Protein backbone atom coordinates (compact mmCIF):
# COMPACT_ATOMS: atom_id res chain seq x y z
CA UNK A 1 0.00 0.00 0.00
CA UNK A 2 1.57 3.36 -0.94
CA UNK A 3 2.47 5.77 1.81
CA UNK A 4 0.35 8.82 2.33
CA UNK A 5 1.81 12.23 1.67
CA UNK A 6 2.56 14.52 4.53
CA UNK A 7 0.78 17.84 5.11
CA UNK A 8 3.88 19.75 4.22
CA UNK A 9 4.10 18.04 0.93
CA UNK A 10 0.46 18.67 0.21
CA UNK A 11 0.79 22.37 0.91
CA UNK A 12 3.50 22.80 -1.59
CA UNK A 13 0.89 23.07 -4.41
CA UNK A 14 -0.08 26.67 -5.30
CA UNK A 15 -3.46 27.76 -3.95
CA UNK A 16 -5.91 29.56 -6.26
CA UNK A 17 -6.23 33.28 -6.03
CA UNK A 18 -9.48 34.84 -4.69
CA UNK A 19 -10.08 36.76 -7.94
CA UNK A 20 -10.02 33.63 -10.06
CA UNK A 21 -12.42 31.95 -7.68
CA UNK A 22 -14.86 34.86 -7.99
CA UNK A 23 -14.72 34.88 -11.77
CA UNK A 24 -15.41 31.15 -11.86
CA UNK A 25 -18.40 31.54 -9.54
CA UNK A 26 -19.83 34.41 -11.64
CA UNK A 27 -19.43 32.48 -14.92
CA UNK A 28 -21.07 29.42 -13.43
CA UNK A 29 -24.04 31.46 -12.18
CA UNK A 30 -24.43 33.12 -15.61
CA UNK A 31 -24.40 29.76 -17.39
CA UNK A 32 -26.91 28.40 -14.90
CA UNK A 33 -29.26 31.29 -15.58
CA UNK A 34 -28.98 30.80 -19.40
CA UNK A 35 -29.68 27.10 -19.02
CA UNK A 36 -32.72 27.85 -16.91
CA UNK A 37 -34.01 30.32 -19.52
CA UNK A 38 -33.56 27.79 -22.31
CA UNK A 39 -35.30 25.14 -20.26
CA UNK A 40 -38.22 27.46 -19.58
CA UNK A 41 -38.46 28.24 -23.32
CA UNK A 42 -38.48 24.55 -24.22
CA UNK A 43 -41.12 23.87 -21.57
CA UNK A 44 -43.28 26.68 -22.95
CA UNK A 45 -42.96 25.32 -26.51
CA UNK A 46 -43.80 21.84 -25.30
CA UNK A 47 -46.85 23.12 -23.51
CA UNK A 48 -47.97 24.94 -26.68
CA UNK A 49 -47.53 21.74 -28.74
CA UNK A 50 -49.37 19.73 -26.13
CA UNK A 51 -52.19 22.29 -26.11
CA UNK A 52 -52.44 22.14 -29.93
CA UNK A 53 -52.45 18.31 -29.93
CA UNK A 54 -55.05 18.34 -27.22
CA UNK A 55 -57.25 20.68 -29.24
CA UNK A 56 -56.87 18.47 -32.34
CA UNK A 57 -57.69 15.36 -30.34
CA UNK A 58 -60.72 17.12 -28.90
CA UNK A 59 -61.98 18.13 -32.36
CA UNK A 60 -61.38 14.59 -33.70
CA UNK A 61 -63.27 13.14 -30.76
CA UNK A 62 -66.13 15.53 -31.40
CA UNK A 63 -66.22 14.48 -35.09
CA UNK A 64 -66.30 10.83 -34.09
CA UNK A 65 -69.15 11.48 -31.70
CA UNK A 66 -71.09 13.30 -34.42
CA UNK A 67 -70.53 10.44 -36.89
CA UNK A 68 -71.66 7.90 -34.35
CA UNK A 69 -74.78 9.90 -33.65
CA UNK A 70 -75.51 10.19 -37.39
CA UNK A 71 -75.02 6.44 -37.89
CA UNK A 72 -77.31 5.76 -34.96
CA UNK A 73 -79.96 7.96 -36.53
CA UNK A 74 -79.61 6.17 -39.90
CA UNK A 75 -79.79 2.79 -38.19
CA UNK A 76 -82.92 3.87 -36.37
CA UNK A 77 -84.46 5.01 -39.68
CA UNK A 78 -83.54 1.65 -41.26
CA UNK A 79 -85.02 -0.24 -38.38
CA UNK A 80 -88.20 1.78 -38.77
CA UNK A 81 -88.29 0.92 -42.51
CA UNK A 82 -87.74 -2.75 -41.75
CA UNK A 83 -90.47 -2.64 -39.19
CA UNK A 84 -92.73 -1.01 -41.78
CA UNK A 85 -91.88 -3.75 -44.29
CA UNK A 86 -92.41 -6.48 -41.80
CA UNK A 87 -95.95 -5.32 -41.42
CA UNK A 88 -96.95 -7.36 -44.57
CA UNK A 89 -99.64 -9.89 -43.92
CA UNK A 90 -99.30 -13.61 -44.60
CA UNK A 91 -101.62 -13.42 -47.64
CA UNK A 92 -99.50 -10.68 -49.21
CA UNK A 93 -96.37 -12.72 -48.66
CA UNK A 94 -97.94 -15.77 -50.28
CA UNK A 95 -99.09 -13.71 -53.27
CA UNK A 96 -95.59 -12.29 -53.72
CA UNK A 97 -94.08 -15.77 -53.51
CA UNK A 98 -96.49 -17.06 -56.16
CA UNK A 99 -95.61 -14.16 -58.44
CA UNK A 100 -91.90 -14.89 -58.11
CA UNK A 101 -92.49 -18.58 -58.87
CA UNK A 102 -94.49 -17.72 -61.99
CA UNK A 103 -91.68 -15.46 -63.24
CA UNK A 104 -89.11 -18.17 -62.55
CA UNK A 105 -91.11 -20.78 -64.48
CA UNK A 106 -91.60 -18.40 -67.41
CA UNK A 107 -87.88 -17.62 -67.63
CA UNK A 108 -87.01 -21.34 -67.45
CA UNK A 109 -89.48 -22.15 -70.26
CA UNK A 110 -88.13 -19.31 -72.43
CA UNK A 111 -84.55 -20.48 -71.90
CA UNK A 112 -85.56 -24.01 -72.89
CA UNK A 113 -87.25 -22.77 -76.07
CA UNK A 114 -84.19 -20.71 -77.01
CA UNK A 115 -81.95 -23.73 -76.44
CA UNK A 116 -84.09 -25.96 -78.67
CA UNK A 117 -84.22 -23.28 -81.38
CA UNK A 118 -80.44 -22.85 -81.39
CA UNK A 119 -80.00 -26.62 -81.57
CA UNK A 120 -82.34 -26.86 -84.56
CA UNK A 121 -80.53 -24.03 -86.34
CA UNK A 122 -77.22 -25.82 -85.87
CA UNK A 123 -78.65 -28.99 -87.45
CA UNK A 124 -80.06 -27.25 -90.54
CA UNK A 125 -77.63 -27.27 -93.49
CA UNK A 126 -77.75 -25.65 -96.92
CA UNK A 127 -79.19 -28.82 -98.42
CA UNK A 128 -81.88 -28.93 -95.77
CA UNK A 129 -82.74 -25.28 -96.42
CA UNK A 130 -83.11 -25.98 -100.14
CA UNK A 131 -85.39 -28.92 -99.39
CA UNK A 132 -87.54 -26.80 -97.08
CA UNK A 133 -87.77 -24.04 -99.69
CA UNK A 134 -88.85 -26.59 -102.29
CA UNK A 135 -91.53 -27.92 -99.95
CA UNK A 136 -92.72 -24.40 -99.25
CA UNK A 137 -93.12 -23.64 -102.96
CA UNK A 138 -94.93 -26.94 -103.51
CA UNK A 139 -97.32 -26.19 -100.65
CA UNK A 140 -97.95 -22.73 -102.08
CA UNK A 141 -98.68 -24.20 -105.53
CA UNK A 142 -101.09 -26.75 -104.08
CA UNK A 143 -102.86 -24.04 -102.10
CA UNK A 144 -103.29 -21.86 -105.20
CA UNK A 145 -104.55 -24.88 -107.16
CA UNK A 146 -107.11 -25.70 -104.46
CA UNK A 147 -108.31 -22.10 -104.36
CA UNK A 148 -108.64 -22.03 -108.17
CA UNK A 149 -110.67 -25.26 -108.14
CA UNK A 150 -112.99 -23.85 -105.50
CA UNK A 151 -113.54 -20.72 -107.60
CA UNK A 152 -113.96 -22.75 -110.82
CA UNK A 153 -110.84 -21.30 -112.49
CA UNK A 154 -108.07 -22.93 -114.51
CA UNK A 155 -104.77 -22.54 -112.65
CA UNK A 156 -102.64 -22.96 -115.79
CA UNK A 157 -104.64 -20.34 -117.68
CA UNK A 158 -104.39 -18.00 -114.73
CA UNK A 159 -100.61 -18.42 -114.67
CA UNK A 160 -100.29 -17.87 -118.41
CA UNK A 161 -101.84 -14.42 -118.08
CA UNK A 162 -98.75 -13.39 -116.13
CA UNK A 163 -96.38 -14.26 -119.01
CA UNK A 164 -95.58 -11.94 -121.90
CA UNK A 165 -94.80 -12.98 -125.48
CA UNK A 166 -91.09 -12.28 -124.97
CA UNK A 167 -91.05 -14.40 -121.81
CA UNK A 168 -92.74 -17.26 -123.66
CA UNK A 169 -90.20 -17.10 -126.50
CA UNK A 170 -87.30 -17.17 -124.07
CA UNK A 171 -88.86 -20.11 -122.26
CA UNK A 172 -89.34 -22.08 -125.48
CA UNK A 173 -85.74 -21.40 -126.52
CA UNK A 174 -84.56 -22.61 -123.14
CA UNK A 175 -86.56 -25.82 -123.49
CA UNK A 176 -85.08 -26.45 -126.94
CA UNK A 177 -81.58 -25.89 -125.62
CA UNK A 178 -82.18 -28.30 -122.76
CA UNK A 179 -83.50 -30.87 -125.21
CA UNK A 180 -80.35 -30.57 -127.32
CA UNK A 181 -78.07 -30.84 -124.29
CA UNK A 182 -79.87 -33.91 -122.98
CA UNK A 183 -79.28 -35.81 -126.23
CA UNK A 184 -76.02 -37.47 -125.17
CA UNK A 185 -76.58 -40.82 -126.89
CA UNK A 186 -74.21 -41.92 -129.62
CA UNK A 187 -75.86 -42.16 -133.03
CA UNK A 188 -72.92 -41.91 -135.44
CA UNK A 189 -69.58 -40.18 -135.70
CA UNK A 190 -70.89 -37.24 -137.73
CA UNK A 191 -73.63 -36.41 -135.24
CA UNK A 192 -71.18 -36.76 -132.39
CA UNK A 193 -68.74 -34.35 -134.06
CA UNK A 194 -71.57 -31.88 -134.75
CA UNK A 195 -72.73 -31.98 -131.13
CA UNK A 196 -69.19 -31.45 -129.94
CA UNK A 197 -68.79 -28.48 -132.29
CA UNK A 198 -71.97 -26.85 -130.98
CA UNK A 199 -70.86 -27.52 -127.43
CA UNK A 200 -67.57 -25.75 -128.09
CA UNK A 201 -69.43 -22.79 -129.61
CA UNK A 202 -71.55 -22.48 -126.49
CA UNK A 203 -68.47 -22.54 -124.28
CA UNK A 204 -66.64 -19.93 -126.43
CA UNK A 205 -69.22 -17.25 -127.32
CA UNK A 206 -68.56 -14.80 -130.13
CA UNK A 207 -67.79 -11.10 -129.59
CA UNK A 208 -71.05 -9.60 -130.84
CA UNK A 209 -70.10 -6.04 -129.89
CA UNK A 210 -67.16 -5.99 -132.27
CA UNK A 211 -69.28 -7.60 -135.00
CA UNK A 212 -72.00 -4.97 -134.67
CA UNK A 213 -69.44 -2.17 -134.90
CA UNK A 214 -68.03 -3.73 -138.06
CA UNK A 215 -71.55 -3.96 -139.43
CA UNK A 216 -72.16 -0.27 -138.70
CA UNK A 217 -69.02 0.67 -140.62
CA UNK A 218 -69.94 -1.64 -143.53
CA UNK A 219 -73.49 -0.29 -143.89
CA UNK A 220 -72.45 3.34 -143.40
CA UNK A 221 -74.54 3.78 -140.26
CA UNK A 222 -73.83 6.30 -137.53
CA UNK A 223 -71.83 5.00 -134.56
CA UNK A 224 -74.14 3.69 -131.86
CA UNK A 225 -76.96 2.72 -134.22
CA UNK A 226 -76.60 -1.03 -133.75
CA UNK A 227 -74.47 -1.03 -130.59
CA UNK A 228 -75.69 0.74 -127.42
CA UNK A 229 -73.53 3.57 -126.15
CA UNK A 230 -72.77 1.75 -122.91
CA UNK A 231 -71.54 -1.46 -124.57
CA UNK A 232 -67.88 -2.14 -123.82
CA UNK A 233 -65.48 -4.71 -125.17
CA UNK A 234 -61.76 -5.05 -125.56
CA UNK A 235 -62.18 -5.87 -129.24
CA UNK A 236 -64.13 -2.78 -130.30
CA UNK A 237 -61.74 -1.99 -133.11
CA UNK A 238 -62.79 -3.69 -136.31
CA UNK A 239 -60.29 -5.76 -138.21
CA UNK A 240 -58.20 -3.40 -140.31
CA UNK A 241 -57.74 -4.55 -143.89
CA UNK A 242 -54.18 -4.14 -145.05
CA UNK A 243 -55.17 -4.90 -148.63
CA UNK A 244 -57.11 -1.64 -148.94
CA UNK A 245 -60.58 -3.23 -148.85
CA UNK A 246 -63.66 -1.17 -148.10
CA UNK A 247 -65.64 -1.67 -144.91
CA UNK A 248 -68.39 -3.63 -146.67
CA UNK A 249 -65.92 -5.85 -148.54
CA UNK A 250 -64.02 -6.45 -145.34
CA UNK A 251 -67.15 -7.62 -143.54
CA UNK A 252 -68.94 -9.48 -146.35
CA UNK A 253 -66.13 -11.37 -148.00
CA UNK A 254 -66.99 -13.73 -150.81
CA UNK A 255 -65.21 -16.44 -152.77
CA UNK A 256 -63.62 -13.88 -155.11
CA UNK A 257 -61.96 -11.90 -152.32
CA UNK A 258 -58.18 -12.16 -152.53
CA UNK A 259 -57.52 -10.90 -149.00
CA UNK A 260 -57.26 -13.71 -146.52
CA UNK A 261 -55.85 -14.20 -143.05
CA UNK A 262 -55.53 -10.52 -142.12
CA UNK A 263 -58.03 -10.64 -139.27
CA UNK A 264 -56.48 -10.17 -135.81
CA UNK A 265 -58.58 -11.44 -132.91
CA UNK A 266 -58.57 -9.68 -129.56
CA UNK A 267 -56.62 -10.82 -126.52
CA UNK A 268 -59.81 -11.92 -124.75
CA UNK A 269 -60.82 -14.12 -127.69
CA UNK A 270 -57.37 -15.74 -127.73
CA UNK A 271 -57.55 -16.34 -123.97
CA UNK A 272 -60.97 -17.98 -124.31
CA UNK A 273 -59.72 -20.39 -126.97
CA UNK A 274 -56.58 -21.22 -124.97
CA UNK A 275 -58.59 -21.91 -121.81
CA UNK A 276 -60.93 -24.20 -123.78
CA UNK A 277 -57.99 -26.13 -125.26
CA UNK A 278 -56.36 -26.51 -121.83
CA UNK A 279 -59.66 -27.75 -120.42
CA UNK A 280 -59.94 -30.41 -123.14
CA UNK A 281 -56.33 -31.48 -122.56
CA UNK A 282 -57.03 -31.82 -118.83
CA UNK A 283 -60.01 -34.05 -119.56
CA UNK A 284 -57.88 -36.31 -121.75
CA UNK A 285 -55.22 -36.56 -119.04
CA UNK A 286 -57.80 -37.71 -116.52
CA UNK A 287 -58.98 -40.49 -118.81
CA UNK A 288 -57.64 -43.97 -118.13
CA UNK A 289 -54.99 -45.03 -120.58
CA UNK A 290 -55.43 -48.31 -122.41
CA UNK A 291 -53.18 -51.20 -121.60
CA UNK A 292 -51.00 -52.16 -124.56
CA UNK A 293 -51.18 -55.86 -123.63
CA UNK A 294 -54.95 -55.78 -123.31
CA UNK A 295 -57.07 -57.56 -125.88
CA UNK A 296 -58.78 -55.12 -128.22
CA UNK A 297 -62.37 -56.24 -128.74
CA UNK A 298 -64.05 -52.85 -129.16
CA UNK A 299 -64.40 -50.13 -131.78
CA UNK A 300 -64.83 -47.07 -129.52
CA UNK A 301 -65.12 -46.13 -125.85
CA UNK A 302 -68.85 -46.78 -125.59
CA UNK A 303 -68.42 -50.22 -127.14
CA UNK A 304 -65.56 -50.89 -124.73
CA UNK A 305 -67.77 -50.17 -121.72
CA UNK A 306 -70.56 -52.31 -123.18
CA UNK A 307 -68.21 -55.26 -123.73
CA UNK A 308 -66.98 -55.00 -120.15
CA UNK A 309 -70.54 -55.21 -118.86
CA UNK A 310 -71.22 -58.30 -120.99
CA UNK A 311 -67.99 -59.93 -119.85
CA UNK A 312 -68.86 -59.34 -116.23
CA UNK A 313 -72.07 -61.38 -116.58
CA UNK A 314 -71.31 -64.00 -119.26
CA UNK A 315 -67.57 -64.72 -119.08
CA UNK A 316 -68.11 -67.53 -116.60
CA UNK A 317 -70.26 -69.33 -119.22
CA UNK A 318 -68.24 -68.59 -122.37
CA UNK A 319 -64.75 -69.01 -120.96
CA UNK A 320 -64.43 -72.67 -121.95
CA UNK A 321 -65.92 -72.12 -125.42
CA UNK A 322 -63.49 -69.30 -126.19
CA UNK A 323 -60.57 -71.40 -124.96
CA UNK A 324 -61.60 -74.24 -127.29
CA UNK A 325 -61.79 -71.84 -130.23
CA UNK A 326 -58.29 -70.59 -129.50
CA UNK A 327 -56.92 -74.16 -129.32
CA UNK A 328 -58.83 -75.20 -132.45
CA UNK A 329 -60.55 -78.10 -130.71
CA UNK A 330 -64.05 -76.68 -130.80
CA UNK A 331 -66.74 -79.09 -131.98
Instruction: Check pLDDT > 50 for residue 283.
Output: yes
Query: What secondary structure letter does DSSP report for 239?
Result: P
User: What is d(CA 317, CA 331) in angstroms, rounded to the nearest whole number?
Assistant: 16
pLDDT-above-70 percentage for the chain:
66
Structural contact between residues 235 and 207, judged by C-beta atoms closer than 8 angstroms:
yes
Q: Which of the two residues, 273 and 220, has the higher pLDDT score?
A: 273
Q: What is the pLDDT of residue 177?
A: 83
Q: Which of the two residues, 140 and 247, has the higher pLDDT score?
A: 140
299: left (phi over 0), alpha (psi -120 to 50) or beta: alpha
Q: Which of the two residues, 286 and 157, has the higher pLDDT score?
A: 157
Q: What is the pLDDT of residue 234?
A: 45
Instruction: Check pLDDT > 70 for residue 80.
Output: no
Instruction: Check pLDDT > 70 for residue 26.
Output: no
Q: From the CB of residue 214, how many other CB atoms can be counted at a distance below 10 Å?
A: 20
Structural contact between residues 141 and 158, judged by C-beta atoms closer than 8 angstroms:
no
Q: From the CB of residue 227, how many other CB atoms can be counted at a distance below 10 Å?
A: 20
Instruction: Check pLDDT > 80 for residue 187.
Output: no
Q: For residues 43-67, give the mean pLDDT.
A: 60
Q: What is the pLDDT of residue 239?
A: 43
Q: What is the pLDDT of residue 104?
A: 93
Instruction: Check pLDDT > 60 for residue 88.
Output: yes
User: pLDDT band at 137, cuts 50/70/90?
Assistant: very high
Q: Which of the two residues, 207 and 107, has the higher pLDDT score?
A: 107
Instruction: Check pLDDT > 80 for residue 53.
Output: no
Q: What is the pLDDT of residue 235?
A: 44
Amino acid sequence: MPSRKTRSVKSTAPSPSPSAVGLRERSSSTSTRSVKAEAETEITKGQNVVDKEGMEETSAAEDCVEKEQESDRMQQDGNEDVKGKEKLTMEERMAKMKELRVKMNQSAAQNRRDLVEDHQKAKVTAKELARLEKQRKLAQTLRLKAEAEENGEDIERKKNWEWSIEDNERWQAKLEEQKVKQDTHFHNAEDDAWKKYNRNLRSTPADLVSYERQKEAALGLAPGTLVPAGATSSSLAASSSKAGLSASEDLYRGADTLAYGDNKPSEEAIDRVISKINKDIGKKKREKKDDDNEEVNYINERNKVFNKKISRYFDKYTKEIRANFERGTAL
